[in-house]
Amino acid sequence: MLTVRQRMIDLLAEEELTARELSQALGIMEKEVYGHLQHIERTVARQGMKLTAHPYTCLNCGYTFDSRKRWDRPGRCPNCKQGHIRMAGYRIVPA
């Protein structure tokens, strides 16, 4: 039987998914997904792969959170102060 992280790695190796999509596919809370992503990043790096993130983007002004180091969702845009943020997409690719 596969662990949650192993199932996440399998899903992310197949296609790009958001934290919400992962939580629904795995039956866990969205907050838990962000914690697992930190560990998955280190795990796949040892296997010669890389966890990539399509950055969060403000739907109001288009600001892109390119330099964000944290995995969890931002509360609001630092540029326009709105909370309409497009979810980041995650994918595992060869390094």
**Domain total of the chain:** 1
Q: What's the pTM value of the predicted model, to 2 decimals?
A: 0.84
Q: Are 93 and 39 in contact (CB under 8 A)?
A: no
pLDDT per residue as tens digits for the range 17-44 = 999 999 999 999 999 999 999 899 999 9
Domain assignment of residue 14, given as a range? 4-94
Number of C-beta neighbours around residue 1 at 10 A: 4
42-79: pLDDT as tens digits: 999 999 999 999 999 999 999 999 888 888 889 999 99
Whether the CB-CB separation of 43 and 50 falls below 8 Å is answered with no
Specify the DSSP class assigned to residue 70.
-
Q: How far is CA 51 from the centre of its chain?
A: 9
- Which neighbouring-strand residues pair with 32? none
pLDDT band (50, 70, 90) for residue 86: very high
- Domain of 67: which CATH number? 1.10.10
Give the model's pLDDT for residue 22.
Answer: 96
